[in-house]
């Protein structure tokens, strides 16, 4: 559930509407405190596999900058520099923005317009709920590892708490989707709910009635339908078991970026984090900085990473490797959900990873954030 929640929240951050014609120019006048002079990019984000598109480039000079673009309708955009990224909605033709680069996070950033004030509140609420849900899920996982039965009173109480928190977040997201005046804010909230794609269709259908002329909503609805159809089409008739801790990791052989075959078994003798990801996967891209930090910290301690991509576009895959500064071995058969890795590892979502010991045995799975660093620090002393 934690993986689904993170995936849905972070995937929701990649939705937007189509770029417009010659009308609808909007400008962001920004002040970024405690930062050096640098470039900053205005990007349009899309609820699809299409990567972010740079619309304008500005220079942060003495903390001040201005960027602008043209949009036919309201959509989701991002200000991005080498070290920072800020989401916003173009609900006004002129939007003032302030942030403190020395204190990253939603709390210390402000886009001064109605939809963006509401967007900030939604992100803060979702983040607080996600932390509570993740904490419950973490305790439950530890109890299961220790052999606690499902009918244990403590475990059952935690399960009830988890389900209540999860349902509270879903109701909140759907309520915002049903009442927000901004079409993009409503769309953002709907797709942020920790539910399956099938259930997301319910609030999305309501948005098409409330905002019948909004192309971004229509595009989002079409995209969700396509993904549901794709999952149905590519789902194996017999579910494949997911390799568990203690099993030998199935060997994988695919081509690298230079079209030369490479196998997981070639890394035998090292601790290897097999990272399943894709350039089009928002949560994967969001986790990559943490993965880079872990790799840099432990690469000299008999540790490496093998990236296994579920891309189907080589250029997008190679560009994402460069953009995210992924310095380890990367392989892919460029078949998306028809990839051999899906069946071998029973994948039902990405990002996902398995940690393999020097003998090829799986010693941990689904390591994210601080949990990844803690596990590596534990075994790579």
Radius of gyration of the chain (CA): 22
Quote the tokens at residue 279: 């350039």
List, in sequence order, every residue forming a beta bridge with 37; answer none if it has no partner: none
Q: Which residues of 7-42 are buried (b: 16+ CB within 10 A; e: fewer)?
A: bbbbbbbbbbbebeeeeeebbbebebeebeebebbb
List, in sequence order, every residue forming a beta bridge with 309; answer none if it has no partner: 277
Quote the tokens at residue 5: 């929640």
pLDDT at 61: 96
C-alpha of 184 from chain center: 18
pLDDT at 137: 76
Counting every residue, how long is the chain?
381
In this predicted structure, the answer to whether residue 3 has a pLDDT above a threshold of 70 is no
H helical segments located in 235-368: 282-298, 314-323, 340-345
In this predicted structure, the answer to whether residue 95 has a pLDDT above a threshold of 70 is yes
CB atoms within 10 A of CB 343: 13
Domains detected in the chain: 2-112 (2.60.40), 116-234 (no CATH), 253-379 (3.40.30.10)
pLDDT at 47: 67
Distance CA 162, CA 132 (A): 8
The mean pLDDT value of the chain amounts to 85
Q: Worst-scoring range by mean pLDDT, 149-153, 167-171, 283-287, 306-310?
A: 149-153
C-alpha of 174 from chain center: 20
Distance CA 286, CA 284 (A): 5
DSSP 284-315: HHHHHHHHHHHHHHHTTSSEEEEEEE--S-HH
In this predicted structure, the answer to whether residue 241 has a pLDDT above a threshold of 70 is no
More confident residue, 97 or 343: 97
CB atoms within 10 A of CB 82: 10
pTM above 0.75, yes or no: no
For residues 270 and 358, the answer to whether their CB atoms sit within 8 Å is yes
More confident residue, 241 or 62: 62
In this predicted structure, the answer to whether residue 4 has a pLDDT above a threshold of 80 is no
Distance CA 263, CA 308 (A): 10
Distance CA 86, CA 78 (A): 5
For residues 113 and 64, the answer to whether their CB atoms sit within 8 Å is no
pLDDT (tens digit per residue) in 351-368: 899 999 999 899 988 888
CB atoms within 10 A of CB 75: 27
pLDDT at 16: 36
pLDDT at 332: 95
More confident residue, 370 or 231: 370
pLDDT (tens digit per residue) in 163-212: 888 899 899 999 999 999 999 999 999 888 887 777 888 888 899 999 99
For residues 309 and 326, the answer to whether their CB atoms sit within 8 Å is no
Distance CA 335, CA 345 (A): 15
pLDDT (tens digit per residue) in 106-139: 888 999 999 999 999 999 998 888 888 878 877 8
Contacts of range 101-108, beta carbons closer than 8 Å, 24 or more positions apart: 101/32, 101/33, 101/34, 101/35, 102/33, 102/34, 102/35, 103/34
Distance CA 276, CA 246 (A): 19
pLDDT (tens digit per residue) in 30-69: 999 999 999 999 999 876 666 788 999 999 999 999 999 9
């Amino acid at each position: 559930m934690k993986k689904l929640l993170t995936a849905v929240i972070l995937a929701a951050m990649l939705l937007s509407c189509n770029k417009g014609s010659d009308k609808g120019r909007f400008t962001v006048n920004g002040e970024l405190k405690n930062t050096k002079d640098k470039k900053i990019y205005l990007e349009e984000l899309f609820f699809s596999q299409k990567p972010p598109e740079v619309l304008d480039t500005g220079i942060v000079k003495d903390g001040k900058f201005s960027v602008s673009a043209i949009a036919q309708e309201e959509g989701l955009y991002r200000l991005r520099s080498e070290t920072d990224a800020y989401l916003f909605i173009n609900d006004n033709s002129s939007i003032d923005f302030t942030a403190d680069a020395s204190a990253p996070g939603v709390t210390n950033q402000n886009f001064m317009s109605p939809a963006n004030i509401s967007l900030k509140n939604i992100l803060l609420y979702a983040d607080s709920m996600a932390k509570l849900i993740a904490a419950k899920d973490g305790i439950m996982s530890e109890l299961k590892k220790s052999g606690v039965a499902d009918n244990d009173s403590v475990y059952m109480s935690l399960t009830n708490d988890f389900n209540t928190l999860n349902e509270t977040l879903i109701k909140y997201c759907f309520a915002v989707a049903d009442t927000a005046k901004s079409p993009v804010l409503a769309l953002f909230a709907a797709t942020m709910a920790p539910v399956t794609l099938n259930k997301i269709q319910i609030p999305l259908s309501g948005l098409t009635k409330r905002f019948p002329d909004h192309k971004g909503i229509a595009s989002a609805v079409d995209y969700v339908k396509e993904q549901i159809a794709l999952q149905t089409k590519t789902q194996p008739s017999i579910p494949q078991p997911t390799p568990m801790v203690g099993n030998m990791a199935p060997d994988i052989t695919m081509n690298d970026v230079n079209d030369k075959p490479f196998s997981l078994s070639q890394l035998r003798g090292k601790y290897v984090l097999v990272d399943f990801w894709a350039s089009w996967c928002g949560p994967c891209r969001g986790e990559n900085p943490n993965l880079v930090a872990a790799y840099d910290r432990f690469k000299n301690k008999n540790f490496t990473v093998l990236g296994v991509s579920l891309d189907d576009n080589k250029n997008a895959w190679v560009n994402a490797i460069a953009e995210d500064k992924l310095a380890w071995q990367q392989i892919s058969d460029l078949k998306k959900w028809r990839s051999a890795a899906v069946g071998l590892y029973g994948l039902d979502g990405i990002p996902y990873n398995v940690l393999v010991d020097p003998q090829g045995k799986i010693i941990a799975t689904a390591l994210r954030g601080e949990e990844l660093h803690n596990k590596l620090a534990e075994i790579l002393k």
